[in-house]
A and B are shown apart, each in its own frame.
Chain A
Amino acid sequence: MKSTLKLTLGLASAMLASTAASNVAQAEDLTLCWAAWDPANALVELSKDFTKESGIGMKFEFVPWTNYADRFLNELNSKGKLCDLIIGDSQWIGGAAENGHYVKLNDFFDKEKISMDDFVPATVVGYSEWPKNTPNYWALPAMGDVVGWTYRKDWFSRPELQKEFKEKYGWDLAAPTTFDQLKQIAEFFQKREIDGKTVYGASIYTERGSEGITMGAMDVLYSFGFQYENPKKPYEMEGFVNSEKSVKGLEFYKALYDCCTPPGASNSYMGEGVDAFKSGQVAMHMNFAFTWPGLQKDENVGGDKIGYFVNPKGPDGDQFAQLGGQGISVVSYSDKQESALKYIKWFANKDVQAKWWSLGGFSCLNAVVKDPNFPSSQPYAQTFLDSMAIVKDFWAEPSYAPLLQASQKRFHDYVVAGQGSAKDALDGLVKDWTSVFQDDGKM
C-alpha cells in the first residue's frame, strides 16, 4: 500500500513537473510572423539552431502574400500580441515607426555592437530606416530582394535561333542589357514554336489586387528616368512623376505587355510568373530574386537551362531595379521583447547569415555578400549582387497603402485595360498622390 502511494505520488509529481516545464517553455516561445513563401521555410530550418542555442522555442505565423499585408497590418493596428517578431514589408516601415508598432533598435544595436555599416547600404535604407537616410533603425535587414530577370539559356543558345535573330535584329541573341533589346528578344520569341509548343516573349507583373503591376511598372520606369519627387523639394511631384521620360517608360511597359506576354496574363504576379517560366511558356521572366533558388533547382527549366540578368538599362543609360525584401523587427506590443531581441542578435551573427544564404535566404550582411566566394556560390549570386547595387523603392511613407492603391489603379487602367494614355495615367497619379499627402498634412 505504501509503495503504491509512493508510486502514485511520484507519478503525480512527474506529471506536475512536466506540465510546469512545458508551460515555462511555452511562455518562452517566440512567434515570428512573415509571408508564406520559400524563404520562410528556410528560416524555419535556420531557427532550429537558435532554439538549440538559447532554449527559446520558435513558432511561426506565415500568411500567403495576397493576404500578408491585410493580415499583419490588422494585427499591428489592433495592437495584437500574436507576433513577437515580424518580418514586415519594406514599405511598412514609415507607418510602423510613426504608429509605434515596432521597437526602435538603436540602443539595442549600440549595446550589442551591431553596426548598420555591416549591412548592404541599400537594405539599411530600404528595410531599417525611418525617416529615410537618418540613423533611426526599426528593423535589422533580414531578406534582401530585388526584381531581376531569368531567361531560357538553352533556347538562347540554339544555333538556328541565334542565326535567325542575328539576321533579323543585327546583334547576337544574348541576355539583354537595354530595355530595347529586351523587347526585341521578347518579340522574337512571341508565339514561336519551340519543341512543338507555342511559347511567348516574357512574363511581367500585371497583378491588380495588391502591388504587382506597380512593382513591375516601376521596375521599368526607374531606368527611363521616373522620379518620385523633386530631389530638392520633397513631395513636389509635378514634372517628376509625370515627366516625359516617365511617360515613355510607361508606354514601353504597355507595349511590352501588348506585344509579348502570354495570353490572359492580365493579373500575374510572383506565383503566376514562376508558373509561366516553369511550364516553359516564356523566354524571359521578371520576378523577385527570392524565386531564383527554386527555379535553379527545377528539373525542367533549372540547372544549365536557366540564366539570370540584371534589370536592363533605359534609353539614357540609367539602370535601376525595384527593391523587394524585408527587415526583421520586434513588435512593441509583445510581452517577450527581451527574447525577441535575443533572436535579432543571433540572426545578425555572421555564421548564421552565411547559413541563411546557403539555405535559400538572401543575406544582407556585407561579410556574406562581399565574401570572395559569394559570386560563385550560386549561379544567380552575381546577378543578385549587381541588382542590389541599383535598387530604388516605392514610397515608404505611413500612407504607403493609399499611394500604392492609386498606382495600382492608374497603371492597370492604362497598361492592361488600355484606357487613356500614359500621360493621363501619370497625371492622374500625381493628382492622387498629391491628395494623399495633402490629407497627411505634408503638402
Chain B
Amino acid sequence: MLNRTADSVARATPEPLARKVRGISDKGLAWLFISPTILLLLAINIFPLFWAIYLSFTNYRANRPNEVVKNVGLANYKRILGDQDVWIAMQTTAHFVFWTILLQTLIGFTLAWLIDRKFRGHAFWTTIILVPMMLSPAVVGNFWRFLYEPQIGLFAYAISFVSGIPPTDVQMLSNVSLAPWSIIIVDTWMWTPYVMLICLAGLRSIPEYLYEAAEVDRASNWRQFWSITLPMALPFIMLAVLFRGIENFKMFDMVTLLTGGGPGSTTEVASITLKRQAFESWRTGYSSAFAIILFVAVFGLANIYVKALNKVKQR
C-alpha cells in the first residue's frame, strides 16, 4: 500500500523537478531540510553569543552609540570577579536554587509516589496538583503578592491563625529574613508539579515483575523502596533536578514581581543584577562579561551533572 502511494507520488512529480531531486544525495537532502533551522539558530543563538563574547572585552555602552568602543581586555571580567555585590548576588542565587530544588524534589517525589498508588480519584488529584504549573508566572507572581499582603492577604491570616501572631506582623515580602523564603515558597508551589510529573514517569517505568520478585523474596516495603523504587527512579529525579536547576539559576520573573530584588538587595539574584547592569545602567560590555561568566558556570555545572546522570543510568 505504502509502495503504491510512493509510486503514484513519484509518477505525479513533474519530470524537471523529479530530475532535480534525483540529483541530490541523501546527505544533501538532509542538509536542505535542516539548513533553515541551523540558519535560525545561528542568527538568534550563536551569533549573539559570539557578539556578547566580543562585547565582553570592550567598554561598549548601548546608550552611547557615538562613543568610541575600546578594547579593555579582561578588565570587565576582573571587575566582576572582584565585585562584592556580584558575589552576594551569586550567593543569593545559590541559596534560592538549593532550597527550591531540595523542596521540589522531596515534595514532588513524594507526591508522585502517592499518585502512583493509583488510589480512588488519583486522576482528579493529579489534575488539581498540576494546575499551578499551567499558570503564567506573571499571574502567579501577582496573586502571591496579594496573598502575602499583611493587611488583606490570606497567607498572613493563615499564619496568624496558626501562630497567633497578628497578620500585620507577618510581612513576608518586607522582612529581610522572610523575603527569600517567600520566593522559595512560590517557586516550590508552582514547579513541584513539574518535578512530580517527571518522577511519576520514572515510577511508572519500573517493571512490575521486580516488585513481584521482591515479594517472593519477602522483601519489606521499605527494602523494596530503597532497592528498587529509588534506584530505578533516580535518573528521572536527576533529570528533574537538572531542568529545575537550570531554570532557577536564571530566575527573574518571580523575583521581580514579588520583591523587585528587595528588601535592600536580599533577594537580588544574579539575573536581576545582570538585567540592571545591562538595561538600566547600560554597561553593555560589563554585563556581557557577566552573562558569559553565568553561561560558563551553568554550562560547566550542567555538563558535570549530565556526566553523573549518565553514570547513574548505566548502572
Contact = CB atoms under 8 A, between A and B. Distances in A.
A264 B171 contact: yes
A260 B291 CA distance: 41
Given A263-B168, A405-B280, A418-B176, A412 B63 contact: no
- By secondary structure, the B interface counts as loop
A398 B281 CA distance: 11
A21 B282 CA distance: 43
A412 B281 contact: no
B265 A409 contact: yes
B229 interface: no
Interface in A91-135: 95, 98-100
A416 B281 contact: no
A262 interface: yes
Interface residues of A, number: 36
Contacts of A417: 176, 262-266
A76 B65 CA distance: 10
Nearest to B151: A263
A342 B29 CA distance: 59
A265 B145 CA distance: 12
Nearest to A410: B264
A208 B283 CA distance: 20
A411 to B, nearest CB: 9
B101 interface: no
A317 B116 CA distance: 73
A417 B280 CA distance: 22
Interface string A246-269: 000000000000000011111100
Contacts of A404: 280
A401 B264 contact: no
Given A77-B62, A262-B151, A405-B280, A207 B260 contact: yes
A99 B281 contact: no
A401 B265 CA distance: 18
B204 interface: no
Nearest to A79: B65
B262 A402 contact: no
Nearest to B282: A401
Given A263-B169, A412-B264, A412-B265, A77 B174 contact: no
Contacts of A208: 259-264
Classify chain B: how many residues form its interface, as a range: 20 to 34
A91 B282 CA distance: 15
A416 B174 contact: yes
B261 to A, nearest CB: 6
Contact of A267 (B176, B259, B279): B259
A285 to B, nearest CB: 16
A333 B128 CA distance: 53
Contacts of B260: 207-209, 267
B151 A401 contact: no
Contacts of A79: 65
A73 interface: yes
Given A409-B265, A412-B262, A412-B264, 19 more contacts: A69-B280, A70-B279, A70-B280, A98-B64, A99-B63, A99-B64, A208-B264, A263-B171, A264-B149, A264-B174, A265-B174, A266-B262, A267-B260, A281-B151, A401-B282, A404-B280, A405-B281, A409-B264, A413-B265
20 contacts: A69-B280, A207-B260, A208-B259, A208-B260, A263-B168, A263-B169, A263-B171, A264-B150, A264-B173, A265-B174, A402-B280, A402-B281, A404-B280, A413-B264, A417-B262, A417-B263, A417-B265, A418-B264, A419-B176, A419-B264
